């Protein structure tokens, strides 16, 4: 049954139809023990911190622009511009990276994210600010250590290839990672605009990472880019998981094969491409996330750019229920998909696999959530 949602969530317009959620259910979304596997550090900068950096650096960004970045309407634009502004003008010292890492993890921990794996693109930082890779990475890792000590959250950094830059910079990024190798940065990713920048351009960088035992993920099939990019990422770049990957639904046979192999897809309900291209009254029913599940793919919901999408981890999980049709048993499965697909060590993962289902069930029991007959503990 589709009814008016109780409130708008993130950048999803209120006119988009969804299921109402109760306050008790919203508390469940917040309190589910969860991992976050797809979040960009620069997309998680608090608005007040951004404004403070603009002022301190004298950056050429007006108050109106800051407002436009952070108050996103139904046709969101400009995330990539904000990220570039941060890289170019605002994040100039290792301590800037430490601070935004700490604040991101503090906000995530407040919604019971127990473990976060987040992206940072080193290429533009090195090129535009003169900061060395090792200095910036050290700032981020210091932020992780402090947040872990203060909030009990664990986290890993995923240095990510800037696919708008030359492929040689991607190889250089992996070489820098290896030169400054740290267990808290166990693998690589790739993001920024996928148009005309297919994964095969970055084959050498991924091969180098794999040869040295780094993990790998890749943004593919975002912005309506073809399913072949997902296939290239999985089969040629040999990634461990896929970020977005929506257009895999255009090749159902391949999707079923990846479902059998258990490839995890980190999906983002607030992804702006579908908010722009699907009509509000069809958005919730036509979203490819639904088709991905129907093909048996393993999914895990994420915020992507939480402060820029105006969404939190709880909001992303709520949208999976309120708009994308998942029920309590599906959410429980997604919680475990996240544990399975994350890069924490095996002992830690085993402990979460053991403890989190009972915690999840206890949360659901405390609500007035009508349990479907299919809910199986
Ligand atoms: Zn992303």
Say whether pLDDT at 159 is over 50. yes
As a whole number of angstroms, the distance between CA 69 and CA 77 comes to 8
pLDDT digits (tens, 9 = 90+) for 176-215: 999 999 999 999 999 999 999 999 999 999 999 999 999 9
Residue 3, both tokens: 């009814």
Contacts of residues 166-174 at CB distance under 8 Å and 24 or more positions apart, as own/partner, are 167/201, 167/202, 167/204, 167/205, 169/123, 169/127, 170/123, 170/202, 170/204, 170/205, 171/204, 171/205, 171/208, 172/123, 173/122, 173/123, 173/133, 173/205, 174/205, 174/208, 174/209, 174/212, 174/214
**CA 255 to centroid of ligand 1, rounded, Å:** 20
**Which pLDDT value is given to residue 356?**
98
Say whether pLDDT at 326 is over 80. yes
**Which pLDDT value is given to residue 377?**
64
Q: Read off the pLDDT of each residue in 167-179 and give the average, rounded to a whole number.
A: 98
Say whether pLDDT at 286 is over 80. yes
**CA 377 to centroid of ligand 1, rounded, Å:** 32
Q: What residues are neighbours of ligand 1 (ion), with CB under 5 Å? A: 304
**CA 304 to centroid of ligand 1, rounded, Å:** 5
Say whether pLDDT at 75 is over 60. no
Q: Exposure of 225 by Cβ count < 10 A (0-12 exposed, 13-18 middle, 19+ buried)? A: buried
DSSP state of 268: -
The more confident residue out of 374 and 46 is 46
**CA 1 to centroid of ligand 1, rounded, Å:** 31
pLDDT digits (tens, 9 = 90+) for 221-262: 999 999 999 999 999 999 999 999 999 999 999 999 999 999
CATH code 3.20.20.140 for 33-364: yes
Residue boundaries of the structural domains of the chain: 33-364
pTM of this structure: 0.94
**CA 189 to centroid of ligand 1, rounded, Å:** 10
DSSP state of 371: P
Return the residue matching tokens 């601070």: 99
Q: What are phi and psi of 188, to 5 degrees?
A: -115, 160
Report in angstroms the alpha-carbon separations of 88 from 42, 129, 139, 323. Answer: 12, 6, 17, 37
**CA 135 to centroid of ligand 1, rounded, Å:** 24
**CA 332 to centroid of ligand 1, rounded, Å:** 23
**CA 366 to centroid of ligand 1, rounded, Å:** 34
User: Mean pLDDT over all residues of the chain?
Assistant: 92
């Amino acid at each position: 049954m589709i009814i008016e949602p109780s409130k708008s969530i993130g950048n999803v317009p209120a006119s988009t139809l969804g299921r109402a959620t109760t306050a008790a259910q919203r508390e469940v979304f917040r309190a589910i023990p969860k991992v976050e596997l797809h979040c960009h550090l620069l997309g998680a900068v608090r608005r007040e911190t951004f404004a403070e950096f603009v002022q301190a650096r004298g950056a050429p960004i007006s108050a109106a622009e800051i407002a436009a970045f952070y108050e996103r309407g139904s046709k969101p634009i400009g995330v990539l511009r904000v990220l570039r502004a941060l890289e170019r003008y605002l994040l100039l010292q290792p301590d800037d990276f430490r601070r935004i890492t700490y604040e991101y993890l503090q906000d995530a921990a407040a919604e019971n994210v127990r473990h976060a794996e987040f992206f940072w693109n080193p290429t533009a930082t090195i090129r535009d600010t003169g900061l060395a890779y090792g200095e910036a990475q050290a700032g981020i890792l210091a932020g992780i250590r402090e947040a872990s000590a203060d909030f009990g959250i664990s986290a890993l950094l995923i240095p990510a290839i800037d696919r708008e830059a030359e492929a040689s910079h991607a190889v250089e990024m992996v070489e820098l990672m290896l030169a400054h190798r740290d267990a808290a940065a166990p693998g690589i990713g790739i993001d920024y605009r996928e148009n005309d920048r297919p994964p095969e351009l970055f084959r050498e960088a991924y091969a180098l990472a794999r040869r040295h035992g780094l993990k790998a993920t890749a943004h593919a099939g975002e912005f309506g880019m073809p399913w072949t990019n997902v296939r290239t990422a999985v089969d040629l770049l040999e990634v461990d998981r896929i970020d977005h990957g929506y257009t895999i639904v255009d090749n159902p046979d391949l999707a079923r094969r990846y479902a059998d192999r258990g490839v995890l897809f980190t999906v983002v309900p607030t992804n702006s491409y579908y908010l722009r291209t699907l009509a509000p009254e069809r958005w919730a029913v036509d979203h490819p996330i639904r088709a991905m599940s129907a093909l048996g793919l393993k999914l895990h919901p994420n915020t992507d750019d939480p402060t820029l999408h105006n969404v939190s981890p709880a909001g992303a999980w709520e949208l999976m229920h309120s708009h994308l049709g998942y029920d309590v048993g599906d959410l429980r499965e997604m919680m475990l998909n996240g544990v399975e697909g994350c890069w924490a060590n095996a002992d830690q993962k085993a402990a979460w696999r053991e403890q989190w289902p009972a915690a999840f069930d206890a949360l659901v029991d405390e609500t007035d959530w009508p349990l479907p007959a299919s809910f199986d503990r």
